[in-house]
Every structure is written in structure tokens, then in C-alpha cells.
Structure 1
């Protein structure tokens, strides 16, 4: 039993590492782009003015901005990616079915993320000192992600991949599911999001969700890759973007 458990743990760790490694190049590109935005905000008055206008727009429109931005970044843009690059620009009914699932999924996720950012601002303040940024990253990556974000996101995508079976929901409440599915997802999450959160939390609160939305598109592609691997829908050596076309 102990040997089998260790083998399963190694498999989970290997899958998480595989996803992080397979997405290393696009992750570095995304992180570099976000870092450039951060540097430009503090060094370029023109960039700062543009981003501050975006922040004010977000504050004025509140929840509507959050939901629309999350849906665009998490549902519509990835689906357009599939249509353009894998369907030769030809929409299918499957795209509408995907959107019927992803639009509410990422709309709700956007609300949860914005709420978490607001709580962090209340708890630690809307300042960008090293200690405050570090505290927010710890809450985000060691609190929100392991206990809320990763389990819920994997759950809903597996539920979809398994034909909306209630059995998959019951299975999601077991330790074996967490070990085999959530732990690999967390490893991939930390590899991508830990550096991104350092960048996002180094900006004023009003800009954190807009910057998160930019990164969300990449994360949806990565999450789809992970959940399709779990479902056995793609080969072990398939590139991450390929899984989106087959989801």
C-alpha cells in the first residue's frame, strides 16, 4: 500500500511538473510582458496615465467590469483562439456549447478573484511594500488557490469532460482526487502564477484585476490542458494548446 501511494504521488508530481515545463516558454513570455507593464507603470507617465484611466473605469463600473473582463479573457478569447488556429476560422456548434459552459464558469471565477483582491486590500492595505506584497502572495497562493480556486476549477472542467456526471462531483470530495488532480494543478499554478502575483500585487488595487484578466487567457489554456490530460483526451506528449482544440 505504501509503495502504491508513493508511486501515485510521484505520478501526480510528474504530471504537475510536466504541465509547468510544457508551458514554460509561453509562461515566461507572459511573465515578461506583465513585468514590462509593471516597469512601464512606474517609469512611463504616459503608461501610468493610461493604466490609471483603466483603473478608474474599473472602479466606476464595479462588478459589471469584473464579469465582462473575466468572460472575455477566460471564455471568449480562448474559444476564438480555437476557432482561428484549430478550426481554420470555421465556427462550430461545439464552440457555442463550450461558451455556454465557460461564460458562467469564468464570470463566477472573476467575481471570486475580485473579492479575494478586495479582502487582501482590507487586511493588508492598498500599499506596495515588500511585506504587504509578500503577505498577499501567501494568502493568494497558499490559501485561496489550494482550498478554493484549484479544486473548484478542476471540478467544473472535469464535470464537463465527463458529461456533467454527478459521480464526478462526489469523487471530487476525496483525498485521492485532491492528490491526483489538484496537486498537479497547483504545481502548474505556482510555476505560472507566483511570479505573476508578485507583479500584480505590486500595482495599486484598482489595477490588480485588469492585469489578472490579461493573464487569465493563458491560465485557461493551461487548465484545459491539465483537465484533458486527467480525462485521457490527449496524448502524454501533446502540446498544451492541442488540448483546447479537443475539449
Structure 2
């Protein structure tokens, strides 16, 4: 009977938190993240835990200055050899290494500092632009609200003036109609007036007429 084959379980890579890594390497979190930026440039400033392989690589990067100091000490010990030429060569080599290693260290630190300062500057610039945008939007909203209030006030005043003008027009029209009615009544009353006849003057004298009649009768009797 065949024996069942043993299945080998795949072990997941062990990870370590940034805090424990700082304690284990006896360094600071800033220095650890600076070294980590060479390995994980995308999330070195936000990652909270790293695999053990990354921890070993970070340890090698952090130990580079110590290796340089060890090489310098070895070179200084060789300077004490009796051979003058070897001493001179080693002195020049040590000076060359010292002059070469310092700029390299500075150049190595400069990108790391820029890597840290650039996101901070970008975040600060984004924050400033966001504040400016919010301030501009608030100013525009205040101006719009003020404009709306001014337009409302102008419409109210215009409507009041229009109503006053309409009321004045109605009063004027009623007054004109009333005047026409009164004038019509006056014309009707004036039409009732009669024409005045002419009065003839009385030119006849009653006494003269009687005397003339008596005279005429007397003449007729004497005949």
C-alpha cells in the first residue's frame, strides 16, 4: 500500500513593524525610512511593517558608514609600516577616499532629504491652493448672495413705484370722467334757457288820442 505524500506548507515571509525594526537596528525612524527609500521608493514614508529581507537590506545601508570607518582605520594602521613609499601611497589613498566618501555621503543624503521634503512641499502647496480655492468660492458666494439681495430690493422698489403710478393713473382717469359728467350736466341745464322776446316801446299817448277823438266829433256836429 502506497504511503500518502507529505504536502509541504508554504511559509509566508515574516514581517516586522517599523517600531520593532528601529529598536532592533538601534537607529531612528527617520534614518530607517531614509534607508528604506532606496529599496521601496513608493511607500517608504507610509509603510508600517517590512519583510525580513527588506530589514537586512536596510541594515546593510545603515552600516555603510561603519564599513568606511573600518577601511579608514585599516589604512591608518598600514601607514605605520617601515616602507615610506607604501606609507605615502596609503596616505594619498586615505586622503582620496576621505575626499571621495564625504561627497558621496552628501550626495546620498541629498536625494533622501529631497525625497522627504518634496512630498511635504507638495502637500503644503496643495493645502495652500485648496485654501485659496475655498476662499475664492466663499467670496463669490457672498457676492452672489449680496447681488441677489440688491436685485430683490430693486424689484420691490420698482413694484411700489409701478403700483403708485397705477393708482395715480386711476385717480386721474376718475377725475376726468367726473369732470365730463359735470360738464354734461351743465350743458343740459343751459339748454333749458329760453330766448328773450323784444319789447316794443309804448309811443301812444292816451290823452292825445282822446283829445283827437273829441275834436273830430265836434267838427262833425258843426257841419
TM bin (shorter chain): under 0.3
| Greater Cα radius of gyration, structure 1 or 2 | 2
| Larger helix fraction of residues | 1
State the TM-score, normalized to the length of structure 2: 0.22
Give the number of the structure with larger relative contact order, counting CA–CA contacts within 8 Å between residues 6 or more apart: 1
